[in-house]
């Protein structure tokens, strides 16, 4: 929508103020002279390139939240606080969706499809992945300096914004409202919907203001400008194409395109790459209980190539890192093959985020976090999915469906996904909900300050770079020299490996308290007592509330399951009975685990291309979903007693 004439008149005073704020900076040192701090770098670059500070700060916040990441590239080869991209230098090769060895469907009713990997896509890189070389040309600064020097990086971003403003025929106004088109172009998007969604987010930050301490300890402030009304009419002059969102199921606040995953038959009863259904609400289809967050372990173009392969896997949505653009591939009513557990697949929506879990400094952009949170909040509201960690799952918290499947389950999005920030964006911040002696805690470390040691990011046994994390490590005793907690399903000795989930809890997960000792808290975890450091001055967890389950009186232990399947008597003759096979875990008497609610035992039989052969089997058995280890699990309601989480020692 364009801004009417009176709106521009109302901005006159704001423009004067913005110009006045820039006047003292006109004599500031040029970008080649390194300022003392990051705030000063923004001020100097704003003055040199005549870009309002609020615009420069707002764009940088949406790119990186002003973090520098030590000069390491993002998941799409972007560097520094302005996320200047140099993909030819930085971009890693695809892995997760390129190895073609997984059974993402997770259902023994039909064999997994394991086709050969496609050839890598060639051709020129899109402009959104090559902004750093262009910034080097505009500033005269070397690409190396733009990658490693935060002040130079900020100057490069300012130069790109100023160039976009010139290209649009706009003057270098001191009023931030006059830079909407340049901000939209800075996004790197090639369509108006994505560029507008990005620019709208930047202007929301400008209006609200922001303040935070960056990863280098610098305090950066963007003073709120609630009066700014952007000149959105500039979008029509950007030359970007008009993209259609037809067929998508996305909120209006994000940019979305329909890129379908093909549903095709290959002969001999074989087909791919998803299953038709009529979720939720239909008695012939499963409900939607979960949303699963993945990372792609590959770059955007390769990910789209994989999901359009009819002989492979699928997921519902992909999210692009540079600008938060979303592609939808499978209707939410249908079942995608993404989680490696058929019960979860049948009852979930899967989101793939462009990223790499073993590259801690291959960071996720704020634009992608925000776009993802809007999509998840929309889907959760539409389908009644609770906004908690037992229903908004990471792929790494999806349980193995059977004992043999446990070792091969995926570990993305990994310890470097910022769950605390994500839930703030979802509008459900992870706040304390219980008293200091509560019998339940929510894991909630300070992401930036919490830096557990991980190994194996680049090579087996080698330390990963120190980095903020959502993960908290567990020990057999209240001592960091004590043994780590083993996972019976994985076998072997637990390690600090970045993909070893045996001794790890994650932000937002809730556990029953098993003990306290000075700065340490113990929880019930994988059938035993597990300890983590939880000092009052820098807590790793906060008090919570919730119901817990424990084995019924007289039972020494109860089995734990990776799927909530119905009892054998519930299956009609035409549907093969699925074994209710326990995982290699037991819940011992006297231990308590937080309940995430109940689900009725159900199985969606979909082993044929023709949907006429599909059946929904619902039993009488009821299960509790529990937070058992790092992953969720299920126990039969008939085996356990439910009680409030009383205070624990």
Q: Kindly state the average pLDDT of the residues 350-365.
A: 80
Rg of the chain taking only CA atoms, in angstroms: 26
User: What pLDDT sits at residue 484?
Assistant: 98
> What are 394's strand-pairing partners?
293
CA 55 to chain centre: 26
| 2-11 residue pLDDT tens | 323 323 333 3
The SS3 of residue 21 is: helix
| 484-522 residue pLDDT tens | 999 999 999 999 999 999 999 999 999 999 999 999 999
Element of type H or E holding 39: helix 38-49
CATH placement of domain 5-86+130-237 = 1.10.530
User: What pLDDT sits at residue 454?
Assistant: 94
> In whole angstroms, what is the distance from residue 438 CA to residue 541 CA?
12
> In whole angstroms, what is the distance from residue 414 CA to residue 408 CA?
15
pLDDT-based confidence at residue 361 (cuts at 50, 70, 90): low
User: What pLDDT sits at residue 358?
Assistant: 72
pLDDT above 90: residue 532:
yes
The answer to whether residues 518 and 528 touch, using CB atoms and an 8 Å cutoff, is no
293-310: b or e for each residue (b if 16 or more CB lie within 10 Å)? Answer: bbbbbbbbbbbbbbbbbb
**Following DSSP, what letter does each residue of 146-164 receive, concatenated?**
HHH-HHHHHHHHHHHHHHH
CA 129 to chain centre: 21
Structure tokens that stand for 585 in this block: 């875990």
| 222-264 residue pLDDT tens | 999 999 999 999 999 999 999 889 999 999 999 999 999 999 9
User: What pLDDT sits at residue 155?
Assistant: 98
> In whole angstroms, what is the distance from residue 73 CA to residue 299 CA?
13
- Percentage of the chain with pLDDT > 90? 76
Q: Kindly state the average pLDDT of the residues 91-96.
A: 48
pLDDT above 70: residue 1:
no
pLDDT above 70: residue 647:
no
Q: Kindly state the average pLDDT of the residues 209-217.
A: 92
The answer to whether residues 373 and 339 touch, using CB atoms and an 8 Å cutoff, is no
DSSP E strand stretches across 374-449: 392-394, 440-443
**Following DSSP, what letter does each residue of 215-255 receive, concatenated?**
TTS-EEEE---TT----GGGGGGS-PBPPP-TT----TTS-
pLDDT above 60: residue 527:
yes
The SS3 of residue 443 is: strand
> In whole angstroms, what is the distance from residue 412 CA to residue 640 CA?
31
User: What pLDDT sits at residue 309?
Assistant: 87
Which of 363, 348, 450 is closest to 395 using CA atoms?
A: 348
Residue 410 is given by DSSP the state -
User: What pLDDT sits at residue 316?
Assistant: 98
pLDDT above 70: residue 347:
yes
User: What pLDDT sits at residue 23?
Assistant: 29
> In whole angstroms, what is the distance from residue 422 CA to residue 438 CA?
25
> In whole angstroms, what is the distance from residue 189 CA to residue 324 CA?
10
- Among the residue ranges 104-118, 305-319, 608-622, 633-647, the one predicted with the least confidence is 104-118
Domain layout of the chain by residue ranges: 5-86+130-237, 550-644
| 27-72 residue pLDDT tens | 233 333 334 599 999 999 999 999 999 999 999 999 999 999 888 8
């Amino acid at each position: 929508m364009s801004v009417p004439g009176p709106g521009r008149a109302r901005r006159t005073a704001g423009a004067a103020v913005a110009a006045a704020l820039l006047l003292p900076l006109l004599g500031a040192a040029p970008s080649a002279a390194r300022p003392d701090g990051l705030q000063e770098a923004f001020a100097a670059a704003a003055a040199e390139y005549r870009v309002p500070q609020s615009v420069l700060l707002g764009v940088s916040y949406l790119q990186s939240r002003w973090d520098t990441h030590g000069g390491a590239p993002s998941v799409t080869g972007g560097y520094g606080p302005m996320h200047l991209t140099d993909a030819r230098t930085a971009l890693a090769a695809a892995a997760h969706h390129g190895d073609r060895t997984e059974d993402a469907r997770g259902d023994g009713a039909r064999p997994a499809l394991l086709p050969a990997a496609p050839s890598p896509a060639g051709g020129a890189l899109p402009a959104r992945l090559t902004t750093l070389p262009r910034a080097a040309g505009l500033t005269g600064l070397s690409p190396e300096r733009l990658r490693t020097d935060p002040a130079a990086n900020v100057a490069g971003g300012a130069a790109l914004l100023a160039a976009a403003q010139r290209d649009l025929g706009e003057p270098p106004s001191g009023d931030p409202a006059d830079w909407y088109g340049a901000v939209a172009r800075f996004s790197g998007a090639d369509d108006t919907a994505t560029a507008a969604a990005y620019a709208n987010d930047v202007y929301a930050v400008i209006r609200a203001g922001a303040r935070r301490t960056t990863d280098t300890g610098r305090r950066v402030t963007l003073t709120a400008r609630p009066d700014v009304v952007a000149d959105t009419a500039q979008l029509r002059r950007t030359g970007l194409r008009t993209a259609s969102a037809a067929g998508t199921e996305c909120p209006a606040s994000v940019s979305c395109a329909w890129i379908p995953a093909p549903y095709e038959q290959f002969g001999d009863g074989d087909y791919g790459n998803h299953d038709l259904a009529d979720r939720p609400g239909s008695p012939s289809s499963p409900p939607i209980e979960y949303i699963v967050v993945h990372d792609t372990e590959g770059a955007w173009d390769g990910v789209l190539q994989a999901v359009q392969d009819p002989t492979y896997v699928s997921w519902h949505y992909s999210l692009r890192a540079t600008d938060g653009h979303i592609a939808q591939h499978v209707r939410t009513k249908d079942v995608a093959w993404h989680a490696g557990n058929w019960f979860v697949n049948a009852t979930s929506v899967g989101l793939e985020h462009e990223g790499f879990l073993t590259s801690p400094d291959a960071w996720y952009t704020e634009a992608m976090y925000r776009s993802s949170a809007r999509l998840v909040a929309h889907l959760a509201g539409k389908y009644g999915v609770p906004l908690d960690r037992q229903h908004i799952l990471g792929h790494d918290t999806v349980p193995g469906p059977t004992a043999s499947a446990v070792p091969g389950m995926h570990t993305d999005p990994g310890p470097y996904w910022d769950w605390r920030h994500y839930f703030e964006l979802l509008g459900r911040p992870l706040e304390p909900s219980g008293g200091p002696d509560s019998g339940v805690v929510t894991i909630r470390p300070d992401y930036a300050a919490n830096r557990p040691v991980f190994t194996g990011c680049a090579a087996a046994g080698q330390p990963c770079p120190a980095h903020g994390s959502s993960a908290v490590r567990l020990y057999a005793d209240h001592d960091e020299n004590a043994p780590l907690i083993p996972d019976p399903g994985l076998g072997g000795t637990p390690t600090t490996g970045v993909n070893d989930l045996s001794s790890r809890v994650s932000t937002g997960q809730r556990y029953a308290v098993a003990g306290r000792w000075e700065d340490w808290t113990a929880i019930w975890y994988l059938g035993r007592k597990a300890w983590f450091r939880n000092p009052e001055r820098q807590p790793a967890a906060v008090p919570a509330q919730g119901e817990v389950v424990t084995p019924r009186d007289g039972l020494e232990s109860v089995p734990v399951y990776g799927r909530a399947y119905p009892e054998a008597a519930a299956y009609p003759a035409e549907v093969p009975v699925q074994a209710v096979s326990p995982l290699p875990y037991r819940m011992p008497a006297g231990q308590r685990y937080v309940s995430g609610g109940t689900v009725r035992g159900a199985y969606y039989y979909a082993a044929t291309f023709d949907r006429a052969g599909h059946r929904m089997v619902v039993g009488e058995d009821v299960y509790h979903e529990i937070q058992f280890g790092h992953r969720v699990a299920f126990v039969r309601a008939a085996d356990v007693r439910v009680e409030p989480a009383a205070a624990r020692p």
